[in-house]
Amino acid sequence: MNVTKPSIPKGTRDFSQLEMTRRNYIFDTIRGVFQRHGFLPIETPAMENLSTLLGKYGDEGDKLLFKILNSGDFLSGANAPLSPNSDKASLQICEKGLRYDLTVPFARYVVQHQAELTFPFKRYQIQPVWRADRPQKGRYREFYQCDIDICGSNSLLNELELIQIVAEVYKKLNINVKLLINNRKVLAAIAEAIDAPDHIVDITVAIDKLDKIGIENVNAELASDGLSQAQIDKLQPILNLEGSRVEKIAALRNILTTETGQKGLDELETLFRYVDSLNIDLNIEFDIRLARGLNYYTGAIFEVKALDVQIGSITGGGRYDNLTGIFGLDGMSGVGISFGADRIYDVMTQLDLFPSDAVATTRLLFANFGADDELYSLQLLAAVREAGISAEIYPDAAKMKKQMQYADKKGIPFVALCGENERNAQTITLKDMVKGEQMTVSLAEAIAMIKA
């Protein structure tokens, strides 16, 4: 066999034991909150048929799909000579692709299994997704999404539930966040209000850049998009909207007078009333500039930003009224959010928020003194594990220095030294690696000390 220099594809990552333990702390926290709200997991395959994926993420998204080469003699399987165009050729030799997000597979799942499901259907899904993005800092080709969706109910209580979940997750993770809320109907009504209903995308894209490029550049961009000066002038009071949630809604009531506008404001008002009545412990802002990239939202739009660190959105979502329509099931409204585990990990690392006990490791290492004393240590080891303590024995009778270094490097807090004396007296000599102290005790005392 020829020797292969080991490496992994660019944009992908190995996760070490420390990283995994910390990631699992995040996943377990999120999962616990999801479950307490009555959500249960599903999983879908990593591979979906390309017919399921193509056309769902725009032209740009189609390009970012990882396609899987058909197995076997794929060239003979292509029912015509291969096109010289790579895009066309790829469809002749690939039927499957890796999932790009969890939302389209979820929509596909709901339609395919609708007869077995109980609606409103509440599910969460924590799985990796793959995108052939250009790798860069903080952007990966394989990353996890943690999605939660409710499907088959128009009630705003679902939006409320998502807000409660955001509040609980970030409280447990100890991350200070701000939840931004907007409503797609309000955005549509803004375009209506300035007599530019066809320009809703231009307007939301431009508004979204307000923080970054300033109001003058936004106005210039709108002009180059084809908006008249009159339309741009009409937009200014909206761009400059300030004040509390109540004040903003009150101001917009007089500007967004269409049915769509009033409906959007009604929805926001109801949601904020819930939030206030229940004293939800979360910084919530009505942000007219929040649009998010996806065009399929029809009602609420959510985004969570971490307050103490410069990073993009760490959670986002909204209501989409007809996602399952693309798979032939109309009239199924859904609302959901997605927690970005990788960004949350980065935030917690930067702010040093991982609790020290998020490093689950062995609590006790039995030193190995060789064959004569082995059995006594093995018997104690079994008893200690039976008591629920993570424990191990150094597998070789190596030099004591090496064994101690092993405990040290792995952060194992206690080492048991059981030689002939301990065996005869049926005791354990326990070394506390943190304090550097050492004492000879009974098994029961040792277990109590380690659990303390």
52 contacts a copy of itself (rule: CB under 8 A): yes
202 contacts a copy of itself (rule: CB under 8 A): no
| Closer of 44 and 313 to a copy of itself (Cβ) | 44
- CB of 231 vs a copy of itself, minimal distance in Å: 30
Q: Which stretch binds a copy of itself (CB under 8 A): 31-39, 174-182, 337-345, 440-448?
A: 31-39
CA of 274: how far to CAs of 1, 9, 150, 268, in Å?
66, 47, 18, 10
Q: Which of 27, 44, 197, 443 binds a copy of itself (CB under 8 A)?
A: 44
| Closer of 55 and 226 to a copy of itself (Cβ) | 55
What angle do helix axes 341-350 and 17-36 make, rounded to 10 degrees?
120
| Closer of 29 and 231 to a copy of itself (Cβ) | 29
Q: Which of 79, 86, 136, 240 binds a copy of itself (CB under 8 A)?
A: 86
358 contacts a copy of itself (rule: CB under 8 A): no
* 214: amino acid identity, one letter: G
CA–CA separation, 246 and 258 (whole Å): 19
Which DSSP symbol is given to 330?
-
Strands 313-320 and 334-340 come out as antiparallel
379 contacts a copy of itself (rule: CB under 8 A): yes
* Count of residues in contact with a copy of itself, rule CB under 8 A: 112
Evaluate whether 135 touches 11 at the Cβ level (below 8 Å).
yes
Task: Report the phi/psi class of residue 331: left, alpha or beta, with left for phi > 0 and alpha for psi in -120 to 50.
Answer: left
Strands 364-366 and 391-393 come out as parallel
Strand order in the sheet with 428-432: 391-393, 364-366, 414-417, 428-432, 438-441
278 contacts a copy of itself (rule: CB under 8 A): yes
CA–CA separation, 276 and 246 (whole Å): 11
74 contacts a copy of itself (rule: CB under 8 A): yes
Which residue matches tokens 């193509």? 54
> In 259-399, which residue ranges form alpha helices assigned H by DSSP?
259-277, 341-350, 371-386
- CB of 208 vs a copy of itself, minimal distance in Å: 25
- CB of 395 vs a copy of itself, minimal distance in Å: 4
**How many angstroms from the chain centroid is the CA of residue 292?**
16
In the region spanning residues 213 to 272, those forming contacts with a copy of itself, defined by CB under 8 A, are: none
Question: Cβ atoms within 10 A of the Cβ of 296, count?
Answer: 17
- CB of 354 vs a copy of itself, minimal distance in Å: 15
| Closer of 160 and 256 to a copy of itself (Cβ) | 160
In the region spanning residues 159 to 178, those forming contacts with a copy of itself, defined by CB under 8 A, are: 160-161, 164
- CB of 317 vs a copy of itself, minimal distance in Å: 16
| Closer of 20 and 250 to a copy of itself (Cβ) | 20
Pattern of binders to a copy of itself over 300-339, x per CB under 8 A? -------------------------xxxx-----------
Strands 364-366 and 414-417 come out as parallel
73 contacts a copy of itself (rule: CB under 8 A): yes
In the region spanning residues 91 to 150, those forming contacts with a copy of itself, defined by CB under 8 A, are: 93-96, 98, 108-109, 111-113, 116, 118, 120, 122-123, 128, 130, 132, 141-142, 150
391 contacts a copy of itself (rule: CB under 8 A): yes
Residue in 206, 177, 197 with CA at minimum distance from that of residue 344: 177
CA of 260: how far to CAs of 185, 190, 208, 227, 268, in Å?
6, 10, 21, 21, 12
In the region spanning residues 1 to 30, those forming contacts with a copy of itself, defined by CB under 8 A, are: 1-9, 12-17, 20-21, 24
Q: Which of 61, 62, 92, 153 binds a copy of itself (CB under 8 A)?
A: 153
Q: Which stretch binds a copy of itself (CB under 8 A): 71-79, 190-198, 226-234, 287-295?
A: 71-79
| Closer of 288 and 354 to a copy of itself (Cβ) | 354
- CB of 207 vs a copy of itself, minimal distance in Å: 27
Q: Which of 350, 396, 425, 438 binds a copy of itself (CB under 8 A)?
A: 396
Measured between its terminal Cα atoms, the distance across the chain in Å is 52
Evaluate whether 414 touches 430 at the Cβ level (below 8 Å).
yes
157 contacts a copy of itself (rule: CB under 8 A): yes
> In 101-228, which residue ranges form alpha helices assigned H by DSSP?
103-112, 157-173, 184-193, 200-208, 210-224
